[in-house]
Amino acid sequence: MQGTPDDELLLLMLSGDRTGFLALYKRYKQALFRFAVRMLGDREAAEDAVHDTFVRLLEDGRAITQPTALKAWLYRVVRNESLMALRRVRDCSENPSDSVWGPETPHTGAERSEAKNLVREALASLRTEYREVLLLREFEGMTYEEIAAVTGDSGSSVKSRLFKARKALAERLAPIWNEERKAL
Amino acid sequence: MKCEEVELSISLYIDRALGAADTPELFLHLAQCAHCRSFLETMLHLRQELASMPEPEPSWTLDRRIGTLRVRRAGMAPKITSAIRLLWMRRLAIPLPAAAVLALMLLTASVVSYSLWSKVNAEPPKQEVIYMLPMPAVEVQAVQQESSLPRQ
C-alpha cells in the first residue's frame, strides 16, 4: 500500500475496504498530528483533532470531489478542528487587533524558558492565522497555493502573512540570538 | 528598492518563489545594505532552528482509537452524529482490564439474580388428598343390634 496513490486508497475506502482507510491513516497521521500539536500546543487535544479528522473522512469521504486533493482536504479538516479546539479553550479571547502576536507575547514566554525552547515559545505565541501559514510552509513544505487551498485564502494573502510571521519572529529572536553569539 | 520591499523579497527567495527577474535586484541591494543582509541571515537561522525542532509523535492510543472506527460500505449505515460519536468514543471508553472486570461482575450478578428468581417462582409442593370411605351401613347396624342383645 506504500506506493499506492491517495485517490486509489480513497476509492478503496469508499468501497468499504478497511485497508484503504488504514493506509491513508498511516500515511497522514504523523503529518496531521505534527501540524495539530503545533497549532494547539497540547498533545491530547491534537490527537482528538486528528481522530476527528479521520472520522470526518469516513463520514464525508464521498464529498471529496477531487480525490487528488485529499491531502489539502485532510489538512483543511484538521486545521478547522484545531481552530474549534482553540476557540473552546480561549473562548475567543484573542484581541481582534492587527498584531501578529497572540495573548501571550513570546517575550514573556522567552524570559522563563531555556534557549532551546525560544523558537517553540515564540512560534506558539503567534496569532493562529500567522502560525498556521508558517507551520504549513516550514514543516509541511507546502507551496503558497497549497497553503491557500487549506486556509481558504488567496495566494497573495498567504505570502503576506508568511512574511509578517517570519519578520515578527526574527524581530523577537534576533536580539536574543545576538546576545548568545556575543556570550560564546 | 526599499528595505521593506527587500525583506518581502528575502521571504520569497528562501521559499524559492522569487521571480528570476527580481533576484539580481535583490542581490544588488544585499551587497549594499547591512540591515537587509542581517535580515537574510536571521531568516536563514530561523529556518534552521525550525528545522531542528523535535518531531512530535502521536501516542499509541490514537492508533487504538482509529482502529475501533468502522468503514461503511457506500450508502449503507446512517451518518453518526457528532454527539453520539463523542459519547461513544470518549465518555464510554474504558480500559480493557476495567471492561473485563465489569463484564465478570455483570455475569456474576446475572447468575445470582437468575438463581434467586428461580427460587421465588418455583412450583408449590403438591397437597395430599385423603379420601375417607364411609363404613358400610349394614355393618354399623349389626354392631348396634349386637350391642342391644341381652348378655348371657
| Nearest partner of A32 among A67, A80, A75, judged by Cα | A75
Asked if A124 and A178 sit in the same domain, the reply is yes
Shortest distance between the Cα of A12 and any Cα of chain B, in A, equals 10
Last residue of a domain, one of A63, A93, A123: A93
Q: Is residue B5's pLDDT more than 50?
A: yes
Asked if A79 and A101 sit in the same domain, the reply is no
ipTM over 0.90? The verdict is: no
Asked if A42 and A61 sit in the same domain, the reply is yes
C-alpha cell at A163: 512574511
C-alpha cell at B101: 472486570
Asked if A104 and A55 sit in the same domain, the reply is no
Question: Number of folded domains in chain A?
Answer: 2
What backbone torsions phi and psi does residue A101 show, to the nearest 5 degrees? -90, 150
SS3 A126: strand
B72-97: pLDDT as tens digits: 665 444 444 444 554 555 555 678 88
Q: What is the pTM of this model?
A: 0.69
Asked if A55 and A15 sit in the same domain, the reply is yes
Asked if A84 and A161 sit in the same domain, the reply is no
User: Is B62 in the A-facing interface, judged by CB distances under 8 Å?
Assistant: yes
A8-18: pLDDT as tens digits: 899 889 888 88
CB contact (8 A) between residue A16 and residue B71 = yes
- C-alpha A134/C-alpha B50 separation (Å) is 10
Q: DSSP secondary-structure letter at A47?
A: H
Write down the pLDDT at residue A107: 44
Asked if A86 and A164 sit in the same domain, the reply is no
Asked if A87 and A4 sit in the same domain, the reply is yes
Task: Specify whether the CB–CB gap between A153 and A72 falls below 8 A.
Answer: no
CB contact (8 A) between residue A34 and residue B56 = yes
CATH code for the domain of A55: 1.10.1740.10
